[in-house]
Structures are given as structure tokens and as C-alpha cells.
């Protein structure tokens, strides 16, 4: 299936996904309706994922300060959880 990003390299950081205790997937709905964005969220929830859907009607195709703050909160929560589950090595 082709698309505007088809064939571009995928950049990864951190532990290999096979050994990960959590993963974060950020999607944008450029060109999609609110209904389609919510339907995609429903599919991830049905697969067992935790989903937050944030809609920004009429906003230009940019990353907002609200989105950055939300991702920072998620990353901080994952970091805290990871530190509890995997104590620092000595």
C-alpha cells in the first residue's frame, strides 16, 4: 500500500520493540474526518491499547503546545513506571 511516506526510512530510538514494556504510537489525522480519527482510536482500544484522542478542528497542520505538553506527560509517566519496574543497575 503506497502513500506519501511509503519507502521512507523509519527512525527508531531506545530498546528494540521485542523487549519493550510499553510503546507509544502518535498518529495525526491530516485529511481524515473526526469520525475516522475516533474510529481508528476504537480499533486500538479493541486491540487492548490505551487511547487518548485529541481533536483540533480548524487548526493548521502544526504541532501545538497542547500536543507537546501531552506527550511530555505521557513520557514522564512511562519513565516513572519503567524506573519502578526496572530498578537501576548497580
Note the pLDDT tens digit of each residue in 5-22.
778 887 777 777 777 777
Range of the domain at 79: 32-85
76 lies in some domain:
yes
Residue 46 has pLDDT above 90, yes or no: yes
pTM over 0.75: no
Taking CA atoms, 25 is separated from 20, 84, 88, in Å, by 13, 22, 26
Say what the pLDDT of residue 33 is. Answer: 81
Q: Please count the structural domains in the chain.
A: 1
54 lies in some domain:
yes
20 lies in some domain:
no
56: cell is 483540533
Amino acid at each position: 500500500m503506497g502513500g506519501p511516506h511509503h519507502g521512507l526510512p523509519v527512525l527508531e530510538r531506545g530498546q528494540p520493540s521485542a523487549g519493550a514494556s510499553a510503546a507509544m504510537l502518535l498518529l495525526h489525522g491530516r485529511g481524515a474526518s473526526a469520525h475516522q480519527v475516533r474510529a481508528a482510536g476504537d480499533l486500538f482500544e479493541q486491540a487492548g491499547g490505551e487511547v487518548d484522542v485529541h481533536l483540533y478542528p480548524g487548526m493548521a497542520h502544526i504541532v501545538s503546545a497542547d500536543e507537546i505538553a501531552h506527550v511530555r506527560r505521557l513520557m514522564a509517566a512511562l519513565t516513572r513506571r519503567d524506573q519502578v519496574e526496572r530498578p537501576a543497575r548497580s
